[in-house]
A and B are shown apart, each in its own frame.
Chain A
């Protein structure tokens, strides 16, 4: 009986919907709620991503493949966010964006080595611009937790589903875990009508991981590069005028609807190229 239950639990924890959806959602809910008093609820995203990464990849140290680099960059990014957040200087945002761009090139290093020089230049510039853009614009949203969470929800779901349609379940689950985490963070705010603490530790991991997933899915799977344009529009769209005085659930719905539209465009563009994900 004990073995049967163990097998069932093992099977459950290996289900992609549990790994990429349920577990990160629950982990983010618990983290955001527990760390609220310490004003560290924004660590919910990285906690949820770590849980998914552990279940999917087992947090590998051995070979530094592009997906392993993505993982470690994402997991270590809150340390940078917390350190730079203490400075609260005007140059922090451009610096984070530049570091995000450099991180994208470092992640893709082995893949770019197999390309011709012109392609290396184009891809390097493209992925650095994409990740830098996301980091910059997401960072702008840190002063509005509802906007940041709505953008995070759309960016995570859009990136995850696009990667999934683009034929990578691994990257898909990583992306969906971000969406699930941001969704949990948003849900708490909708239900309590209270804004959760938000800062670089929320926006940086979200933008960086989602950006790196998008780049890797373009380089190694079948995500069309122009789908990234729709995903890149998400953080600026999350700044549309919505009254900050209205109840949070209404703000959340309006902002999520606008940003999820961009995510849907990215998923649709990928589906047109790649079709349904293989089962």
Chain B
């Protein structure tokens, strides 16, 4: 009897833990992109993006926590000009052959009310890992009107210095400050 009660207690105690693990989401590659902008010799602002981004997100609204785990394929960099894209894949910039992935792993998510407003985490680029904060500028959860599946979407920005990650080619002409913008849509698993 005592054993049965103990087992029941352990099961009951584990229920809130399971609920605290939150909901899990998988990024929709057709609506998830990482964009970047940087100065080109001060004459213009170059815009580029990575065409292939994947990731997992967990959100626990009750505990106001969660996680973000994003992987960006370096070789999918695209600026609308093939010759420049080849250069961006070379060791001068993203070194895609040696570092095929750029990753971001969160350590915590900050909430304001029920809405996540920022993500603390680490960006790994060119073999260097540095803390980077993502500021969430848009956030929405609900059922997708087309697929009828539950999903969440968000937009987030961050600012980094590429030299911090060892990407020093063409400094200072090609800007050191890079603005990162993420657009993500993720379906509930």
Q: Which of chain A's residues 75-93 have a Cβ closer than 8 Å to chain B?
A: none
Q: List the interface of chain A (C-beta within 8 A of B).
A: 14, 56-58, 60, 62-63, 65-67, 110-111, 114, 166-171, 216, 219-222, 274-278
Name which residue of chain A comes closest to B165, CB basis: A63
Q: List the interface of chain B (C-beta within 8 A of A).
A: 83-84, 86-87, 89-92, 95-98, 100, 126-128, 166, 168-173
Residues of A within 8 A of B87 (CB): 167-169, 277-278
Residues of A within 8 A of B83 (CB): 167, 275-276, 278
- Cα(A66)–Cα(B95), bound, Å: 10
- Cα(A56)–Cα(B173), bound, Å: 13
**Given known contacts A62-B128, A65-B126, A278-B83, is B166 in contact with A220 (CB within 8 Å)?**
no
**Given known contacts A111-B98, A222-B86, A278-B86, is B91 in contact with A63 (CB within 8 Å)?**
no
- Determine whether the beta carbon of A57 is less than 8 Å from that of B168: yes
Name which residue of chain B comes closest to A168, CB basis: B90
Q: From the candidates A14, A66, A167, name the one contacting B86 in the complex (CB within 8 A).
A: A167
Name which residue of chain B comes closest to A109, CB basis: B98
Name which residue of chain A comes closest to B173, CB basis: A14
- Cα(A63)–Cα(B98), bound, Å: 12
Q: How far is the CB of B95 from chain A (nearest CB, A)?
A: 6
Which 6 A-B pairs give the minimum distances between C-beta atoms?
A220-B97, A63-B127, A168-B90, A278-B87, A221-B90, A167-B87
Q: How far is the CB of A133 from chain B (nearest CB, A)?
A: 23
Residues of B within 8 A of A111 (CB): 97-98
Name which residue of chain A comes closest to B168, CB basis: A57
Residues of A within 8 A of B166 (CB): 60, 62-63, 65
